[in-house]
Amino acid sequence: MANQTNLKLDQGSSSTSDTTAAIRAHGDVKVRTGVLWLVGAVCGILAIGGLLAFFFRPDQSKDIWVIIGPIISGGVAGVVGAFLGSEKHTS
């Protein structure tokens, strides 16, 4: 590992030579990836719970989907809206 670090430093490509814009862009990508993973995981857990309720308690599954359906669609719409808003804001 140390050899790879020394090789990069010898070639002149270190992380200290990044511009402020490149560092900010890298942070934005990390945040967006984290948000997508979080919303995707929550929506996936809710969807699996709804499917399990559909198979194990079909008489109550409608009540469960009435609760979790808007949460899933709100999460997806919120992420799409936030990403589209940030794209228009930065351009």
Residue 1 — very low, low, confident or very high, per pLDDT cuts 50/70/90?
Answer: low
User: What is the rounded average pLDDT of the residues 32-41?
Assistant: 87
Amino acid 11: pLDDT: 54
Amino acid 16: pLDDT: 57
Report whether pLDDT(32) > 90.
Answer: no
Q: How many CA atoms lie within 13 A of 71 on its CB side?
A: 16
Q: Could you tell me the two tokens for 83?
A: 């990403």
Amino acid 90: pLDDT: 62
In total, the chain counts a number of residues equal to 91
Residue 84 — very low, low, confident or very high, per pLDDT cuts 50/70/90?
Answer: confident
Q: Could you tell me the two tokens for 33?
A: 């990836």
pTM above 0.75, yes or no: no
Torsion, Cα of 28, 32, 33, 34 (10° steps):
100
Strands (E), 1-91: none
**Residue 51 · residue 64 · CB < 8 Å:** no
User: What residue has token string 């857990």?
Assistant: 45
